[in-house]
Amino acid sequence: MFHKEGNTIILVTFIITIASFLLVDYTINIPWLRITLMVAIAALLIIVLQFFRNPKRHTVLNENQVLSPVDGKVVVIEEVFEKEFFKDKRLQVSVFMSPINVHVTRYPISGDVVFSKYHPGKYLVAWHPKASEENERTTVVVENKTYGPVLYRQIAGALAKRIVNYAKPKDNAVQGKDSGFIKFGSRVDLYLPLDTKINVELNQKVRGGESIIAEVNG
């Protein structure tokens, strides 16, 4: 199953792949070179297909838990001052996605979308300390009855050239459902209440819509 954001790119890649196969077959007479080129062309198609894959996830809805919005590795767990929406201290948990990870963004918690804003910006590497404030990004806040407001931020990386965000104010967010997509390498930050119980560790691998990032303490 592939994400709809990849439909055009996948179609174009298929056409280019078929045309390239035919061109190589008709013009290259050296067997080893013909095979090498065909393998390289097929590898390119496989890379594109795996990037836009959208695997089904088994989300267990829970008002007391915040799930990972994306697949990747936890690279930040720290107390920070969130400047854009809360304007106070929060616990930040950041998940880095490499180009081989699934790049679907999912709602980390259910509730009402109360804030959604796009910011143009730079394309620093996603793990750069200033990426949260200077890179192209979108900020979304979901208000949950149990948890209160939870903010997540999609951040473009050095390779990511397009952030797709479906969340709009007054939308009803359903935990684990598709809320966007980031094309080619990126990061997502979560900003949580200071008394949140964090359930992950640095460098831990997580799965979007399934891994429990945090839960209400007590």
Which distant-in-sequence residues (6+ apart) come within 8 Å of 186 by Cβ? 96, 97, 103, 126, 154, 155, 156, 157, 159, 160, 163
Q: What is residue 129's predicted lDDT score, i.e. its pLDDT?
A: 57
Average pLDDT (162-171) is 92
Mean pLDDT, rounded, of the chain: 88
Fold of 65-215: Glucose Permease (Domain IIA) (2.70.70)
Annotated catalytic residue within 68, 94, 116, 186: 186
Contact at 8 Å (CB) between 129 and 164? no
Average pLDDT (29-57) is 88
pLDDT, tens only, 175-185:
999 999 887 66
Report the amino acid identity of residue 12. Answer: V
113 vs 138: CA distance, rounded Å: 13
Q: What is residue 157's predicted lDDT score, i.e. its pLDDT?
A: 67
Q: Which residue has the tokens 């590898």?
A: 43
Q: If you count DSSP H runs as helices and E runs as strands, how many of each does the chain have, helices first?
A: 3, 14
Higher pLDDT among residues 6 and 48, named by residue: 48
Using CA atoms, how far residue 19 sits from 38, 42, 147, 157, in Å, is 11, 12, 53, 32
For the CA atoms of 23, 28, 29, 34, the dihedral, rounded to the nearest 10 degrees, stands at -100
Judge whether 132 counts as a catalytic residue.
no
**Ranges of each domain in the chain:** 4-51, 65-215
β partners of residue 112: 143, 172
Q: What is residue 125's predicted lDDT score, i.e. its pLDDT?
A: 57
Residue 212 has pLDDT above 60, yes or no: yes
pLDDT, tens only, 122-164:
655 555 555 566 678 899 999 999 889 999 999 886 555 578 8
Q: What is residue 153's predicted lDDT score, i.e. its pLDDT?
A: 95
Q: What is residue 218's predicted lDDT score, i.e. its pLDDT?
A: 61
Q: What is residue 134's predicted lDDT score, i.e. its pLDDT?
A: 63
SS3 139: strand
pLDDT grade for 78, boundaries at 50, 70 and 90? very high
